[in-house]
Structure 1
Amino acid sequence: MKKLIILLMVMSAMYSNAQQAMTNIPGRKTFSLNGKWNYIIDPYETGYYDYRYQPADQNPNPTSGFFLDQHQTDKSQMLEYDFDKCPTLMVPGDWNSQDDKLLYYEGTIWYRKLFTYKKSAADNRVFIHFGAANYETDVYLNGKKLGKHIGGFTPFDYEITSLLKDENNSIVVKVDNKRKREAVPTLNTDWWNYGGITRDVDVVEVPATFIADYKIQLKKGSSAEISGMVKLDGSQKSQSVKIEIPEIKQTATINTNENGEANFSISVKNLSLWSPENPKLYEITVTSATDKVTERIGFRTIETKGTDILLNGKSVFLRGICIHEENAMRGGRAYSREDAQMLLGWAKELNCNYVRLAHYPHNENMARVADELGILVWEENPVYWTILWDNPETYANAQQQLTDEITRDKNRASVIIWSMANETPVSEARTNFLRKLAEHARGLDDTRLISAALEVHGNSNPNDKVVEDPFAEYVDIVNFNEYVGWYDGLPEKCDRINWVIKYNKPVMISEFGAGALQGLHGDILTRWTEEYQEDLYKRTLPMLSKIPQFRGLTPWILCDFRSPKRMLTNIQDGWNRKGLIGQNGTKKKAFYVLQDFYKQKELEYKQVLKK
């Protein structure tokens, strides 16, 4: 076992030689590198390998490679690239939606940005922080390699203090979005493989010893004790650190150890608990001798008891919807605060109190805006369909991405569920893979719930639907995807279904739905019409309501989204049409069916609260 743990630690390090990304970038001194970046399309990776296929950046004194950002010093010099003369892409942003010739492109693109940055204090440290880039990213500053990051949806940063010049710094980023069988996610997915630097890029300036990380949440099982940890990075790791919540006049002072770490606990009274009805956020300040950060954090409890989900000790029904990280209006990767406000605003209009962010970690703005709007959140690791369950490197990759996701969003009150996977085929290797992930997640954060989107199976009775999965024993909430009426018969079949679910746990439906082209109309038996989708919703909601343990749902999906798997001409045209909102932002008829169902559920919940 010890050897296995060491092996996994080594492999995890392979997937990012950046240090753990610092938390709360919005609360720090930053200089944005967003905007236009010059780019070179490089499908053969000519800018990385020589003609013997040797990586140029492994040469201690490289003379070639796009990362050097070279320019001719005389007219006879042989040089086959020039970033200055190249076109530009906007960062953040995927390359697929910015240039028609890159719509389906999978491979390497080199980005280059010139910038000047001067520190405000001589002994301060400077980092470059990436919200995410898909999928393998090599980063260079002024010709020197900072490192490689693997994974398309989690943040990473590198220290650049010693490499900064007074002016005209060149940051070069090699981004490769090729799908790989051993990757997470693997080759086969039902969403667009957007490539590029898809989230914010910031220069971050911090003191020589800074507050790198902290967790501030209610202790598991308590609504009167805030606990957590603080971690410093730098040469002065042993310091006195103060955690303050001015609004309720609460303070804790702790001393970090030689590793810069310390735990704390604060007893509180009359704390206003965060909920969808009361999305209360407190301003929290963490102050050391050398650094200070401020952040708005909410406090709530989440747990299960038997078949109930308890939010702040009270049973709650989760009225949800699935969301992809895509702006339906422009058909590209979502990334901004405005994107989050639009998507979550539509969810609020549906009367949702909950969203499932599928099938990978979404950008940080989603959880932060959800905190403000009062929307509960499911976040998901990109373990999707047919991962290589027996490959230790694949597991290390999945564990690292889960770690990065939890590290980034552990202080978000809105986030209540860490999901390990989606629609994975049952096998002993797969169950062990997911079990280890669940144990790892609980070790990092024991205050939230664990789940996964499981599958439904049949038995000898064609109208029986069985939910039985060995991984269900390890989750707090049993979630499953079902498509009765779309992939399984017609909508009228919903009227005859009998659910067989043996677990004494809350049960939620993580997906159901039907495709409909917005604006296409017909009778309820005509596929792809709004009427077919509407009829399926009208029949599915009563069917699911018969499940005794039924405690919530997230139908598939809020908006139409791009997928190369969806090829029906004049209907799909590269879009998954199961959205309740079309690619033009217009709501389909089924939107209002779900809206009315949630309105009734909301009224029922308010009556319960009054009692």
Structure 2
Amino acid sequence: MENEIQSIQKRNYIMNKTALNILKIFLISLTLVTMTNQIINAQVINLNGKWGIIKDTLNELTINNVEEKDGWQNITVPSTWHIVNEEFLDYQGIAWYRKVIPINKIETGKRYILEFEAVDYLSKVYINNKFIGENEGGYTPFSFDVTDDLKEGDNKILIRVNDPTAEEKRTDGIRYWHIPHGKQSWYVQCSGIWQDVCLKIKPVNFIKSAKITTNISGKFEAEIDFDFHDVSKKENFSIKIYSPDGEEVFQFNKIADRIT
């Protein structure tokens, strides 16, 4: 009987210790994520809402003639283009999006980052008729530094989106089944800009991303990716970690123009 009680007490101790470690990991992760979000999320210009869209059924439109084409319609971003009307209901292939964003003043010493949460599937981005970059993949975020491509006043964004069909000649030689699919192939398509779009205004040097890997033992690793555009400018880098009861358990400070 005594051995059973000791065994139960030991199990309870291990469970309580494990729960405490999990709580510590959660709080540490929450602290770091909160800190990172405060730094990463600078001024945000929401680009959701009304956009223009047009189908390119024959894959004949280019950045030079797409805006002259008749047939532009309105679409609300974020959303799949299949909800626009019956014409788009079962459409797969290429479509173009457009939007004009006014910028009163370009702030010096700032970086302008155009961010997409997800665009299905292949996307090419243009600003003021200049090619900015492209992305493949319909489920993950991507971004472009467009600081040097914007101007004060109206800025025109055009996005060519390709959601391949079985007829590769109309979708840049790419077929639908060339795309690596998982369970999502069981469902209907979700073509177009189906997640949020925004323009973020950040400091010249900023934290680009942070990845926190935790362990049930209570140990963790934090991997922080910086984006430095002005290496001549010294930055004050600081990390503080607090225990569940609010006690500071770790602090790191460094003033440097390059942190590794």
TM-score after normalising by structure 1: 0.32
Task: Tell which has more relative contact order, 1 or 2 (C-alpha 8 A, sep 6+).
Answer: 2
Structure 1 contact 125–159 (Cα < 8 Å) conserved: yes
Structure 2 contact 238–253 (Cα < 8 Å) conserved: yes
Given candidates 166, 170, 173, the residue that maps to 2:156 is 170
The amino acid across from 1:231 in the alignment is: D
The amino acid across from 1:199 in the alignment is: Q
Judging changes above 3 Å, is the alpha-carbon distance between structure 1 residues 28 and 113 closer, same or farther for their aligned structure 2 residues?
same
Matches within 5 A, 1:403-414: none
Question: Counterpart in 2 of 1:235?
Answer: 229
- 1:205 has 2:201 as partner: yes
Equivalent-residue separation in structure 2 for 1:161 and 1:256 (angstroms): 26
Q: CA RMSD in A?
A: 2.8
Gaps of 5+ in 2: 1-35, 166-175
- 1:117 has 2:131 as partner: no
The amino acid across from 1:153 in the alignment is: Y
* SS of the residue 2:148 aligns to: helix
Matches within 5 A, 1:384-533: none
Question: Counterpart in 2 of 1:32?
Answer: 46
Gaps of 5+ in 1: 1-22, 49-56, 58-63, 70-79, 262-611
Question: Counterpart in 1 of 2:136?
Answer: 150
Judging changes above 3 Å, is the alpha-carbon distance between structure 1 residues 243 and 95 closer, same or farther for their aligned structure 2 residues?
same
Equivalent-residue separation in structure 2 for 1:136 and 1:24 (angstroms): 28
* SS of the residue 1:88 aligns to: strand
Equivalent-residue separation in structure 2 for 1:91 and 1:254 (angstroms): 42
- 1:42 has 2:61 as partner: no
Given candidates 78, 83, 89, the residue that maps to 1:103 is 89
TM-score after normalising by structure 2: 0.70
Given candidates 179, 187, 190, the residue that maps to 1:191 is 187
The amino acid across from 2:96 in the alignment is: W
Structure 1 contact 119–205 (Cα < 8 Å) conserved: no
Given candidates 217, 220, 223, the residue that maps to 1:222 is 217
* SS of the residue 1:158 aligns to: strand
**Offset of 1:257 from its aligned partner?**
8.0
Matches within 5 A, 1:28-107: 28-48=42-62, 64-66=64-66, 69=67, 80-81=68-69, 86-107=72-93
Higher strand share: 2
Question: Counterpart in 2 of 1:287?
Answer: none
Structure 2 contact 241–251 (Cα < 8 Å) conserved: no
**Offset of 1:42 from its aligned partner?**
0.7
Question: Counterpart in 1 of 2:145?
Answer: 159
**Offset of 1:209 from its aligned partner?**
0.8
Equivalent-residue separation in structure 2 for 1:24 and 1:178 (angstroms): 35
Judging changes above 3 Å, is the alpha-carbon distance between structure 1 residues 249 and 242 closer, same or farther for their aligned structure 2 residues?
farther
Number of aligned pairs?
208
Judging changes above 3 Å, is the alpha-carbon distance between structure 1 residues 65 and 256 closer, same or farther for their aligned structure 2 residues?
farther
**Offset of 1:34 from its aligned partner?**
0.4
Equivalent-residue separation in structure 1 for 2:106 and 2:152 (angstroms): 12
Structure 1 contact 92–199 (Cα < 8 Å) conserved: yes
The amino acid across from 2:54 in the alignment is: I
**Offset of 1:37 from its aligned partner?**
0.5
* SS of the residue 1:101 aligns to: coil
Equivalent-residue separation in structure 2 for 1:226 and 1:43 (angstroms): 51
Given candidates 138, 144, 151, the residue that maps to 2:124 is 138
Equivalent-residue separation in structure 2 for 1:257 and 1:96 (angstroms): 50
Equivalent-residue separation in structure 2 for 1:102 and 1:216 (angstroms): 41
**Offset of 1:116 from its aligned partner?**
1.0
Equivalent-residue separation in structure 2 for 1:45 and 1:259 (angstroms): 46
Structure 1 contact 42–108 (Cα < 8 Å) conserved: yes
Percent of paired sites with the same residue: 26
